[in-house]
Amino acid sequence: LRMGISHISQDRLGRGLIVDFNITENIILGDHDQKPYANGLILNFTSILNETEKLIGEFDIRTPSPFLPVHSLSGGNQQKLIVAREFNREPDLLIANQPTRGLDVGAIEFVHNQLLKFRREKKAILLISLELEEIMSLSDRILVIYEGEIIKEFKSSEATKELVGYYMMGGEKKKINHEEMRA
């Protein structure tokens, strides 16, 4: 968190949220000891509540109260909560691992729009997904990993599902020049 990196976990219930905590408590997870949420050991409840209500509105988290336990939210609203918290940290790099897994169409579209907005702000996103269409529609560059090794890099404009799929299956397993990737 302190290094400008934020993370959307593929396991929202196991790693992304504490489901018995309320929405407000989950919004400040990992930041609970930082300003504006705290001054030393003293929590600033007004600031925490104001930020939570702002994010509920901004990220369209459907809830009657910020004090509702997270386990009572739908999966889509739980994911929106994680996305809201991680984007609110204003990271330089967002690692999004299966960010739309198990979501309905409306929630998927919302998360995709947030990722595209983040990308337009010239921030870096490492998108990890099993959904090839998701990768192709959201990415500038696509790296194909086979047997734990990067074997192919594409600009999104050059990639087709068939070509990416071919390399995903190990086609023409060849190492790419990692020095060129850094350029």
Reported as a single tens digit per residue, the pLDDT across 133-169 is 999 999 999 999 899 999 999 998 999 999 998 998 8
Q: How many domains does the chain have?
A: 2
One domain for residues 135 and 145:
no
At residue 95, the pLDDT reads 95
pTM of the model: 0.81
Residues 73 and 121 in one domain: yes
Residues 165 and 112 in one domain: no
Say whether both 92 and 153 belong to one domain.
no
Whole domain around residue 28: which residue ranges? Answer: 5-139
- List, in sequence order, every residue forming a beta bridge with 47; answer none if it has no partner: none
Are 132 and 47 members of one domain?
yes
122 closest CA partner among 99, 143, 92: 92
pLDDT above 90 for 125: yes
Q: Do 175 and 104 have their domain in common? A: no
pLDDT classification of 5: cutoffs 50, 70, 90: very high
Same domain, 84 and 111: yes
> Are residue 39 and residue 83 in the same domain, yes or no?
yes
What's the confidence (pLDDT) of residue 183? 53
Sole residue written with tokens 């009572």: 72
**Cβ-count burial 32-55 (b if 16+ within 10 Å, e if not):** eeeeebbeeeeeeeeebeebbeeb
